[in-house]
């Protein structure tokens, strides 16, 4: 058995080496970098330099506020929408189900730059179809890119469009694992479809919904593409800057790797903390 | 309590007809078992009674009222599913009371019904457990309990014991029988297991490929099957079928020759039908109806292949020409593999079927 294990590990060595160099080491390294002042040459160890700055940095609090705001509003809306989409996809009355599944999933595989460009066009002040539609029902044009509230709404709409279908497909798999005879038993118990949904479907979907929520929380904590490409680097005036964008700005525009690493660890820590709180809140009663 | 009447009930799935005009009368308080091989339409019939499947043709009446277009919940039935269909996220107590709570039943009455069901099924200790914390037998009890709290006119059971091990199956079979006596309500029970059917039923409905083959009391079906299918399906081990040919007829009997046993002849008295001379027929003999050599009307030499000794009896799987026969013997007369012995057939303990399988009486 020991020889077998040794052979297996020898075969695994190339992968483990690459994993260690490009995965484990950067994680450790960035943690160490977060305790160094990286804008001096050579870098010097200064434990409170970056973390101290983080605590007092208004830009960090702005990015944190924006990220949490998106998290609190967008994730529940998107998951709710995904559940509705999954239930519709699961309906035996639906024709061309495969087509809808593809359509709902397609946004995930569309290139980020292309989708961002299309969103910018659609929400453009003068030429966008959204403003034209709003106008046609008597609502004045909205300047989606120059005001903070519409810009934040735009980010949330875009993220929801992109990921709701993806979550719907995961939830659909959960829905299909609920045995049909449980619903038949409820039908014999004179439980309406709506009550079946709230008293049977939702509780049985809980593990899948929690899984989707955890994925979405992690994704939102890292949100970068939409504020970078759609609202032009967190505009207007940092109004949509997220932690992901702050990290990018500090690390790759200002080349302040120490501070960027501290932001990265803060993001990861928050994602873990929020996920743990959520898992605790939705745990199964003993 | 209520009688259930099925009149010319037809079920089609698209162009495929799976139940071809079933006529079944189930009396008030009767325990009727639908039995048949997979795909015979027994579960479909039960689901049509429950209202979980639409009826393509005919009428179903419960308690004298046609229920073709009545919602499942309004039919006065309760159903126990093969997979139990318990709500996995609810405790046993919540499972039992769910339907009543959802329908605004008074709390005191709900508690009374749940308590009564728990007492009947002896599951009082399990009330705070969830289904995954229960054994198969306990789950089945809860599923039956959920049916009891509805206080239905008719209980429907869809292969409720098929997921249990053999010992538990026997135990639950007795409990269901006891429950029927205690509650006295009409019960319709679906199974593919003829032993379950024989032990539980007041009457058995034998189905094959969507047709009702025969309806009758268990021993009536056993002793007097309408055709070869029923004869072969009811009884374990199954009836032996020996190829034969009519060589002579009179107005009260036929003389048949067992074609695979060296032309052995049997004088078979008949009452109703007389096959033509030369007609191919099949002689049916139950394993326990083979007698010792010379005790019957004709003897057949056989060679023991495998013997199963069950204690009180032994089943000898014996070769007789191209036919394999199952012979029941008392344990004291055990046979070993390779033994040659002779069995005897009595005309009055054998059944005759025509080539198509219809009974010749």
What φ, ψ does residue B251 adopt, rounded to 5°?
Answer: -85, 10
* Mutate which: B93, B94, B98, vs A, most A CBs within 10 A: B98
For an interface test with B, give the residue of A184, A186, A188, A286 to mutate (most B CBs within 10 A): A188
Q: In this structure, are B23 and B43 located in the same domain? A: yes
H or E stretch covering B226: none
Quick one: pLDDT at residue A94? 84
Q: Specify the pLDDT at position B332.
A: 61
For residue B313, which phi and psi values (nearest 5 degrees)?
-135, 165
What token pair was written down for B140? 């089945």
Query: Are B327 and B287 contained in the same domain?
Result: yes
Starting at the edge strand found earlier in the chain, the sheet holding B264-269 runs B264-269, B253-258, B240-249, B280-285, B351-354, B359-360
Q: How far is CA B54 from CA A11, B47, B60, B161, B211, in A?
A: 60, 9, 11, 26, 18
Question: Three-class SS of residue A46?
Answer: coil
* Residue whose entry in the numeric block shows the structure tokens 């008719």: B154
- A188, B83: Cβ pair inside 8 Å? no
Q: Among B216, B233, B250, which residue terminates a domain?
A: B233
Q: Which residue has the tokens 């800057």?
A: A241
Q: Between chains, do A184 and B77 touch, taking CB under 8 Å as contact?
A: no
B interface test, pick of A185, A194, A199 with most B CB neighbours within 10 Å: A185
Q: Which of B233, B265, B290 corresponds to the end of one domain?
A: B233
A187:B73 CB<8 A: yes
Chain A residue at shortest CA distance from B80: A185
Please compute, for residue B200, the number of CA atoms within 13 A of its CA located in the half-sphere on the CB side.
35
Q: What is the CATH number of the domain that holds B62?
A: 3.40.50.300
Distance, CA of B122 to CA of A40 (rounded, Å): 78
Could you give the CA distance from residue A14 to residue A100 in angstroms, rounded to a whole number? 42
pLDDT in tens, B30-73: 999 999 999 999 999 999 999 999 999 999 999 999 999 999 99
The DSSP letter of residue B129 is -
Q: Are residues B131 and B265 in the same domain?
A: no
Could you count the other beta carbons within 10 Å of the beta carbon of residue B120?
Answer: 17
Question: Strand pairing partners for B268?
Answer: B254
**Number of Cβ atoms within 10 Å of the Cβ of A60:** 20
A chain contacts of residue B78, beta-carbon cutoff 8 Å: 188
Using CA of residue B16, residue B18, residue B20, residue B22, what is the dihedral sign?
negative
HSE (side-chain half, CA atoms, 13 Å) at B313: 10
Query: What sign does the CA torsion over B280, B286, B289, B291 have?
Result: positive
Distance between CA atoms of B184 and B326, rounded to whole angstroms?
39
Q: Among B52, B71, B146, whose Cβ lies nearest the Cβ of A184?
A: B52
Instruction: Flag whether pLDDT at B123 surpasses 70.
Output: yes
What is the average pLDDT value for chain A, to the nearest integer?
Answer: 92
The alpha carbon dihedral of A235, A116, A252, A256 has a sign of: positive
Q: What is the pLDDT of residues B186-200, one digit of tens each?
A: 999 999 999 999 999
pLDDT digits (tens, 9 = 90+) for A183-231: 999 999 999 999 999 999 999 999 999 999 999 999 999 999 999 999 9
Angle at B215 between CA B212 and CA B221, to 5 degrees: 120
Higher-scoring residue by pLDDT: B172, B217: B217
Distance CA B275, CA B254 (A): 8
Please tell me the distance in Å from B103's CA to the nearest CA on chain A: 7
- CB within 8 A of B51, min separation 6: which ones? B67, B70, B71, B72, B75, B77
How far is residue A141's CA from residue B33's CA, in Å, rounded to a whole number? 71
The CA–CA distances, whole Å, from B287 to A41, B56, B317, B326 equal 99, 42, 10, 5
Q: What is the DSSP string of A233-280?
A: TT-STTTT--HHHHHHIIIIIS--HHHHHHHHHHHHHHHHHHHHHHHH
Last residue of a domain, one of B171, B201, B233: B233
> Do the chains contact at B102 and A185, CB–CB below 8 Å?
no
Distance CA A200, CA A189 (A): 13
Considering the domain architecture, whether residues B214 and B287 belong to the same structural domain is answered as no
My answer on whether B331 and B202 are in the same domain is no
Torsion of CA B105, B108, B113, B116, to 10 degrees: 180
> Would you say residue B335 has pLDDT above 80?
no
pLDDT at B333 over 80: no
Instruction: Decide if B32 contacts B2 (C-beta within 8 A).
Output: no
Q: Would you tell me which residues 187-216 of chain A have a C-beta closer than 8 angstroms to some C-beta of chain B?
A: 187-191, 195, 199-200, 203-204, 206
Chain B residue with the nearest C-alpha to that of A183: B85
My answer on whether B141 and B184 are in the same domain is: yes
CATH number at residue B333: 2.40.50
Regarding whether B250 and B217 lie in a shared domain, the answer is no
Other beta carbons less than 10 A from residue B5's beta carbon: 18
- Specify the pLDDT at position B107: 94
The verdict on B15 and B97 lying in the same domain is yes
Closest by Cβ to A189, choosing from B50, B73, B83 = B73
Residues B21 and B107 in one domain: yes
How far apart CA B231 and CA B245 sit, in angstroms, is 19
Domain that holds residue B72: 4-233
| Bridging pattern class, strands B57-62 and B65-66 | antiparallel
Residues of A in contact with B88 (CB under 8 A): 182, 204
Tell me if B186 sits within 8 A of B153, measured CB to CB. Answer: yes
Closest CA to A26 of A286, A249, A268: A268
Q: What's the whole-number average pLDDT of chain B?
A: 92
Indicate whether B259 and B283 sit together in one domain: yes
pLDDT reported for residue A97: 84
3 state DSSP class of A212: helix
Contact A191 B99 (CB under 8 A): yes
Which residue's entry shows tokens 């010749």? Answer: B360
Distance from CA of B214 to the nearest CA of A (A): 30
For residue B126, give the nearest of B96, B168, B160, B102 by alpha carbon. B96
Check A179 against B85: CB less than 8 A apart: yes
Instruction: Indicate yes or no: CB of B78 within 8 angstroms of CB of A188.
Output: yes
- Per-residue pLDDT of B290-310, as tens digits, reads 999 889 999 999 998 888 888
Q: A219 is written with which tokens?
A: 């994704």
Which of A182, A204, A206 is nearest residue B85 as measured by Cβ atoms? A182
Residue B293 structure tokens: 């050599």
B332 or B121, greater pLDDT: B121
Query: Would the pLDDT of A286 be above 90?
Result: no
Q: C-alpha distances in angstroms, B288 versus B268, B296, B343?
A: 19, 13, 11
Which residues in B lie closer than 8 A to residue A185 (C-beta atoms)? 79, 81, 85-87, 146
Residue A191 contacts residue A225 (beta carbons within 8 Å): no
Cα B62 to Cα B68: distance, rounded to the nearest angstrom:
10
Question: Could B85 and A189 be called an inter-chain contact, meaning their C-beta atoms sit closer than 8 Å?
Answer: no
Contacts of B98 in chain A (CB under 8 A): 186, 189, 191, 199
Same structural domain, B48 and B195: yes
Structural domain tally of chain B?
2
pLDDT at B1 over 70: no
Is the pLDDT assigned to residue B337 strictly greater than 80?
Answer: no
Q: Are residues B197 and B263 in the same domain?
A: no
Nearest CA in chain B to A207: B89
Percent of chain B scored above 90 by pLDDT? 76
Domains of chain A, start order: 58-281 (1.10.3720.10)
């Amino acid at each position: 058995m020991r020889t077998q294990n040794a052979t297996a590990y020898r075969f695994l060595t190339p992968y483990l080496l690459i994993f260690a160099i490009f995965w484990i080491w950067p994680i450790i390294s960035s943690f160490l970098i977060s305790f160094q002042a990286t804008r001096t040459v050579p870098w010097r160890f200064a434990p409170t330099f970056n973390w101290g700055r983080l605590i007092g940095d208004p830009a960090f609090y702005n990015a944190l506020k924006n990220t949490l705001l998106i998290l609190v509003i967008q994730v529940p809306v998107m998951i709710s929408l995904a559940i509705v989409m999954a239930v519709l996809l699961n309906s035996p009355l639906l024709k061309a189900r495969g087509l809808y599944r593809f359509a709902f999933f397609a946004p995930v595989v569309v290139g980020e730059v292309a989708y961002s460009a299309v969103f910018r066009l659609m929400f453009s002040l003068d030429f966008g179809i959204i403003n034209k539609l709003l106008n046609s029902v008597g609502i004045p044009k909205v300047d989606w890119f120059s005001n903070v509230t519409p810009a934040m709404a735009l980010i949330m709409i875009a993220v929801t469009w992109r990921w709701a279908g993806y979550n719907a497909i995961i939830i659909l798999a959960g829905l299909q694992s609920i045995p049909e005879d449980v619903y038949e038993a409820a039908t014999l118990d004179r439980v309406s479809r709506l009550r079946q949904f709230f008293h049977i479907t939702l509780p049985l979907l809980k593990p899948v919904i929690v899984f989707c929520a955890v994925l979405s929380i992690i994704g939102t904590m890292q949100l970068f593409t939409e504020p970078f490409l759609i609202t032009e680097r967190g505009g207007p005036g940092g109004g949509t800057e997220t932690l992901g964008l702050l990290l990018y700005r500090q690390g790759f525009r200002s080349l302040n790797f120490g501070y960027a690493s501290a932001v990265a660890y803060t993001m990861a820590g928050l994602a873990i903390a929020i996920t743990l709180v959520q898992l605790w809140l939705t745990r199964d009663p003993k | 309590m209520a009688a259930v009447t099925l009149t010319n009930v037809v079920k089609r799935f698209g162009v495929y007809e799976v139940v071809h005009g079933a006529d079944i009368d189930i009396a008030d308080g009767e325990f009727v078992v639908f039995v048949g091989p997979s795909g015979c339409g027994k579960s479909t019939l039960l689901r049509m009674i429950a209202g979980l499947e639409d009826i393509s043709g005919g009428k179903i009446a419960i308690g004298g009222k046609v229920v073709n277009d009545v919602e499942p919940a309004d039919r006065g039935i309760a159903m126990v599913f093969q997979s139990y269909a318990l709500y996995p996220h609810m405790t046993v107590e919540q499972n039992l009371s769910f339907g009543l709570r959802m329908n605004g039943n008074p709390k005191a009455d709900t508690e009374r019904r749940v308590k009564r069901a728990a007492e009947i099924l002896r599951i009082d200790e399990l009330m705070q457990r969830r289904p995954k914390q229960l054994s198969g037998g306990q789950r089945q009890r809860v599923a039956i309990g959920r049916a009891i709290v509805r206080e239905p006119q008719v209980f429907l059971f869809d292969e409720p014991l098929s997921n249990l091990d053999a010992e538990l199956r026997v135990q639950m079979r007795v409990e269901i029988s006891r429950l029927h006596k205690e509650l006295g309500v009409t019960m319709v029970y679906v199974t593919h297991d003829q032993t379950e059917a024989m032990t539980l039923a007041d009457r058995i409905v034998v189905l094959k490929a969507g047709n009702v083959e025969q309806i009758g009391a268990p021993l009536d079906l056993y002793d007097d099957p309408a055709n070869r299918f029923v004869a072969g399906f009811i009884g374990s081990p199954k009836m032996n079928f020996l190829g034969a040919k009519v060589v002579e007829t009179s107005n009260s009997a036929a003389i048949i020759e067992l074609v695979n046993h060296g032309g052995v002849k049997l004088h078979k008295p008949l009452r109703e039908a007389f096959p033509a001379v030369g007609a191919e027929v099949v002689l049916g003999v139950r394993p326990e109806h083979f007698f010792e050599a010379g005790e019957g009307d004709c003897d057949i030499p056989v060679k023991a292949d495998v013997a199963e000794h069950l204690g009180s009896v032994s089943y000898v799987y014996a070769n007789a020409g191209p036919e394999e026969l199952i012979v029941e013997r008392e344990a004291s007369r055990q046979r070993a593999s390779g033994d040659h012995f002779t069995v005897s057939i009595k005309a009055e303990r054998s059944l005759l079927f025509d080539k198509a399988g219809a009974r010749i009486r």
